[in-house]
Structure 1
Amino acid sequence: MKDANKEDLRRIFKRKRISLTVEEEESLNSRLFYQFKQFVWEGLNYVHTFLPIRKFKEPDTYRMADWLRETYPEIQLVISKSDLKNNLLDHFLWEKDQMLEVNPWGIEEPVGGKIIVPSQLDAILVPLLTFDRSGNRVGYGKGFYDRFLALCRPDCLIVGISFFEPVEKILDVGETDIPLDICITAERIWYLRN
């Protein structure tokens, strides 16, 4: 796909994901998981992940989290709880037996737990609808992740997770948009910044 603005891309990729059959979604999740396992996660202490909104057919990060726990037991996983009043995210250590509850958007979130501050994070798995070849991403448009990423260390690895390959260029990238370093797709790992 050629150059487009965020609003058009948001509409196109929401529709593209929602229209996936069960078989297509499972195939994409399997291929995405295979690519995820090719990345070297060694040397990271705290990895933040999003939990999928199932009704929007977001990639299955539970599978990835289980694999990280098993393969890299030294990695501590972190998840967020949405502060809907202030449009911010609070972050908590994701213990294996952590109690989760579903928020109004259909996202499972932690019920209490140990607070983790953004400066502690070594890598963040970022949800998105699409991204471009420069690492710019299109999310749902609320800005939660851009505000969150702005609080992280400059050396924190920002990793997009996408079923689909990038578009050529997102036309309306803003000053507060934080680009991805890497994006893992069902087809390959994209290294977007040096």
Structure 2
Amino acid sequence: MTKAEARREASKQRNSLSEAEIIAASKLMLDRFTRLDFSGVKVLHLFLPIIQKNEPNTFLFIDWMKQNQPDVKLIVPRADFATSLMTNYVYMGAQELELNAYGIPEPKLAEPYTGEVDMVLVPLLAFDLRGYRVGYGKGFYDRFLAGENIKKIGLSFFEALDEITDVNDQDVKMNYCITPEKIYKFS
């Protein structure tokens, strides 16, 4: 399946999910996330969910991290759509967020973060059995993760596709992908 086909099909599937289904699936993914090894993780980058695109509720992950891994610094992105680059900011709480023009929650007055990142929760629409993902097509996360030795973890409501046929050199593989059913590990 091509990226465009996967993007179209996954968007259709996600749009059909109810709010209750999103919450239930997000909780199941969180349960699997809590089983990961956090030793050596000092900084975790999390995407913030775009509600109108029915993305996984990563605020549940933030709450769990604050309670169970309080020494891990949580950072969130701000997107620059003119350059297709992201900058990171220390997460200061939901009250410090505002929606950008695309409906993405972003920090407004947070402290910029330019240090090392140990683990990243990566947004996606679909992924394959090799660990390649399909996002919205702007390449923000592929640029952010390129050449970095970071533990990359996708979150998907749906199971893996057999293969995304048109991956290229700029596409960055994930180490893991968490679904409501299981954790996929990629070599």
TM over 0.5: yes
How far does the alpha carbon of each residue in 1:73-94 deviate from its partner, in whole angstroms, 9 at most, with x for none? 1100000111121111111111
- Deviating more after overlay: 57-66 vs 15-24: 15-24
1:145 maps to amino acid? Y
> Number of residues paired by the alignment?
187
- Contact residue 98 and residue 110 of structure 1 kept, 8 A: no
- Deviating more after overlay: 92-101 vs 80-89: 92-101
Q: Is residue 34 from structure 1 mapped to residue 34 from structure 2 by the alignment?
A: no
Deviation for aligned residue 1:14: 0.3
Output the aligned Cα RMSD. Answer: 1.4
- Contact residue 42 and residue 72 of structure 1 kept, 8 A: no
Q: Which consecutive residues of structure 2, in runs of 5 or more, have no partner in the other structure?
A: none
Q: Secondary structure at the match of 1:38?
A: coil
Alpha-carbon separation, structure 2, partners of 1:73 and 1:24: 29
Q: Secondary structure at the match of 1:8?
A: helix
Alpha-carbon separation, structure 1, partners of 2:92 and 2:27: 25
- In structure 1, the partner of 2:170 is 176
- Contact residue 98 and residue 111 of structure 1 kept, 8 A: no
Residue of structure 2 aligned with 1:160, choices 154, 157, 174 = 154
Q: Which consecutive residues of structure 1, in runs of 5 or more, have no partner in the other structure?
A: none
Q: Is residue 109 from structure 1 mapped to residue 103 from structure 2 by the alignment?
A: no
Structure 1 stretches of 4+ with a deviation exceeding 6 A read none
Name the CA shift for 1:111/1:30 in 2 (closer, same or farther; >3 Å). same
- In structure 1, the partner of 2:45 is 48
Alpha-carbon separation, structure 2, partners of 1:72 and 1:21: 30
- 1:123-142 map, 5 Å: 123-142=119-138
1:192 maps to amino acid? F
1:179 maps to amino acid? K
Alpha-carbon separation, structure 1, partners of 2:122 and 2:19: 23
- Contact residue 159 and residue 180 of structure 1 kept, 8 A: yes
How far does the alpha carbon of each residue in 1:107-151 deviate from its partner, in whole angstroms, 9 at most, with x for none? 11011322222x510011000001011100000001111111116
Identity across the alignment (%): 36
- In structure 1, the partner of 2:64 is 67
- In structure 2, the partner of 1:189 is 183
- Contact residue 51 and residue 79 of structure 1 kept, 8 A: yes
Alpha-carbon separation, structure 2, partners of 1:186 and 1:85: 35
> So what's the TM-score if we normalise by structure 1?
0.92
Deviation for aligned residue 1:69: 0.9
Q: Secondary structure at the match of 1:173?
A: coil
- In structure 2, the partner of 1:84 is 81
Alpha-carbon separation, structure 2, partners of 1:17 and 1:124: 22
